[in-house]
Amino acid sequence: MAAPAVHRERPSANGDLVSWMAGTQLLARAVTVLLYLREREEPVTVGEIAQALSVPANTVYRIVRTLEMGGLVDRSHRPYVSLGLRMMDLGQAKQRLLARELAPFAMPVLEGLTADTDETSLLVMPTGARAICIFAVEPSRAIRLSYQPGRVFPLYAGASGKILLPWVSPQIVESAIAQADGHPLPDGRRLTAPRLRREMASMRAAGYCVSHGEVDAGAGAVAAPVFGKGGQIFAAVSVAGPEGGFLDDRLPGLIERVLAAAAEIGRHVVARP
């Protein structure tokens, strides 16, 4: 008699806190350790990691030792743990890959957008419950907003990341909303889950997002989504700069140009082999 088939669910990512089935639990915990270290400004101990992630200390110790062998964490200043230098190599490898695949058609669009608006243009892509800057083109004027590739944005605040939220997976949406609820903005306001859900509906209907001072005080932004094959969210295009350049009289023109740039990049993305 044949053994009954065992149903195995596919792993699902819940933002930056990954929860998988028992067969991949150790891998999930290793990923969570790396993401936790990414958020820390200073090295931490194994005990602090264990307490923060609610994982047994001996399990964290085994994970850290394994990651250390791959250069992904550094324990040269014991008892402290930090990200390893191999993470720089991995990041640069991904950056080179994206440059080869996307820069030939994305950079001319961003350069044209900056020339038209005199604001900083960004191409941002979703990564878990965050967004990350892939390319940035700055204007030549002295007073401008400066972002470097690799800058990480939340999905719950600021047009550049928030415009992605209506089209990511439900698990990531719930993770972002949980992060947002009660989060203070630079101007002292606090985000709420109901407000973010209303903004998601508005962004989906309008096809763009405008923000003022949500991530950086005194900064404004306009963003639009870039869709790939099958209508899947691929990235976002935005312009960002000092808030004075994002007043009502300029917004219609900025929105029109950002929408056009996002659509043009989307056409190239869909046409890729």
Per-residue pLDDT of the chain (273 residues; tens, 9 = 90+): 444 444 444 444 444 555 444 447 888 889 899 989 988 888 999 999 999 999 999 999 999 999 999 999 999 999 999 999 999 999 899 989 988 999 999 999 999 999 999 999 999 999 988 999 999 999 999 888 899 999 999 999 999 999 999 999 999 999 999 989 999 999 888 999 999 999 999 999 999 999 999 999 999 999 999 999 999 999 999 999 999 999 999 999 999 999 999 999 999 999 988
| Side-chain half-sphere CA neighbours of 185 within 13 A | 17
Q: Indicate the SS3 state at residue 89.
A: helix
pLDDT of residue 16: 53
CA distances from 165 to 84, 177, 246 (A): 31, 10, 22
pLDDT of residue 14: 45
For the chain, helix, strand, coil in percent to 5 are 50, 20, 30
pLDDT of residue 253: 97
pLDDT of residue 160: 96
Digit-coded pLDDT (tens) for 149-205: 999 999 999 999 999 999 999 999 999 999 899 999 998 889 999 999 999 999 999
Which of 133, 150, 118 is closest to 242 using CA atoms? 118
Cβ partners under 8 Å of residue 88, min gap 6: none
Distance CA 265, CA 272 (A): 11
The residue type of 62 is: R
Which of 122, 129, 121 is closest to 165 using CA atoms? 129
pTM greater than the 0.85 cutoff: no
